[in-house]
Amino acid sequence: MSSRNENYREITWQEFQTKLLDMGLVQKLDVMNNNAVRVALRPEAADVITTPHRKYYFRIGSVDIFERHMEEAQNRLNIPSSERIPIAYHQDVSVINAILQLAPTLLLIGFFLYMAKRATGAASQQGPGGLFNIGKSRAKLFNQESKVRISFKDVAGADEAKEEIMEFVKFLKNPAAYERLGGKIPRGAILSGPPGTGKTLLAKATAGEAGVPFLSVSGSEFVEMFVGVGPSRVRDLFATAKKNAPCIIFIDEIDAIGKARGKGGQFGGNDERESTLNQLLVEMDGFNTSEHVVVLAGTNRPDVLDPALLRPGRFDRRVTIDRPDVKGRQQIFKVHLKPITLGVTDIDALTEKLANLTPGFAGADIHNVCNEAALIAARHRKDTVTEPDFEQAIERVIAGIEKKSRVLSPEEKKTVAYHEAGHAVAGWFLQYADPLLKVSIIPRGASALGYAQYLPKDQYLYSEKQLLDRMCMTLGGRVAEELHFDTITTGAQDDLQKVTKMAYAQVSAYGMSSKVGPLSFDDPSQQEPQFQKPYSETTGQMIDAEVRKLVDEAYQRTTRLLQEKKPLINKVAQLLLEKEVITKEDMERLLGKRPFSTDTSPTHRPNEEISPPPFPQDTPPDDVKFKNV
Domains in the chain, start-ordered, CATH in brackets? 3-92 (3.40.1690.20), 135-320 (3.40.50.300), 327-399 (1.10.8.60), 410-524+534-591 (1.20.58.760)
Quote the CA–CA distance of 621 and 618 in Å, as a whole number.
Answer: 9
Give the DSSP H/E element, type plus range, for residue 533.
Answer: none
pLDDT at residue number 605:
32
pLDDT value at 268 more than 50: no
pLDDT at residue number 174:
78
pLDDT at residue number 608:
32
Q: Which of 150, 199, 207, 218 is nearest to 363 (CA)?
A: 199
Look up residue 10 and give its amino acid. Answer: E
Q: Which of 21-25, 284-288, 573-577 has the lowest mean pLDDT?
A: 284-288
pLDDT higher at 204 or 582: 582
Question: Across residues 281-287, what is the average pLDDT?
Answer: 76
Each residue of 145-199: pLDDT tens digit? 566 677 777 788 777 887 888 877 778 777 788 778 877 777 888 888 888 888 8
Q: Are 123 and 136 in contact (CB under 8 A)?
A: yes
Question: Across residues 397-420, what is the average pLDDT?
Answer: 81
- Please tell me whether residue 217 adopts helix, strand or coil conformation: strand
Catalytic residue among 224, 395, 420, 481: 420
Question: Across residues 268-292, what is the average pLDDT?
Answer: 73
What is the layout of strands, in order, in the sheet containing 451-454?
451-454, 436-440, 581-583
Give the DSSP H/E element, type plus range, for residue 73.
Answer: helix 63-76
pLDDT value at 512 more than 80: yes
Question: Across residues 564-575, what is the average pLDDT?
Answer: 91
Q: Which of 235, 217, 313, 231 is nearest to 274 (CA)?
A: 231
| Average pLDDT value over all residues in the chain | 79
Quote the CA–CA distance of 79 and 76 in Å, as a whole number.
Answer: 8
Between the alpha carbon of residue 40 and those of residues 7, 35, 51, 86, 199, the distances in Å are 13, 17, 16, 10, 89
pLDDT value at 246 more than 60: yes
Q: Are 283 and 330 in contact (CB under 8 A)?
A: no
Percent of the chain clearing pLDDT 90 (strictly above): 14
pLDDT higher at 329 or 246: 329
Pairing mode, strands 317-320 and 436-440 = unpaired
pLDDT at residue number 528:
55
Residue 79 falls in which region: left (phi positive, over 0), alpha (psi -120 to 50) or beta: beta
| Alpha helix segments (H runs only) across 358-431 | 363-379, 387-399, 410-428
Give the DSSP H/E element, type plus range, for residue 472.
Answer: helix 464-484
pLDDT at residue number 50:
67
Pairing mode, strands 293-299 and 247-252 = parallel
Look up residue 67 and give its amino acid. Answer: E
Quote the CA–CA distance of 621 and 610 in Å, as a whole number.
Answer: 13
Q: For residue 405, what pLDDT band results from cuts at 50, 70 and 90?
A: low
Question: Across residues 65-76, what is the average pLDDT?
Answer: 87
Q: Which of 347, 341, 345, 350 is nearest to 383 (CA)?
A: 341
Q: For residue 265, what pLDDT band results from cuts at 50, 70 and 90?
A: very low
CB under 8 Å to 49, separation ≥6 — which residues? 25, 41
pLDDT value at 14 more than 70: yes
pLDDT value at 127 more than 50: no
pLDDT at residue number 526:
57
Q: Are 185 and 292 in contact (CB under 8 A)?
A: yes
pLDDT value at 446 more than 90: no
pLDDT at residue number 474:
92
Each residue of 327-383: pLDDT tens digit? 888 889 988 898 898 888 888 899 988 988 888 888 889 999 999 999 999 998 989
For this structure, is 578 an active site residue? no
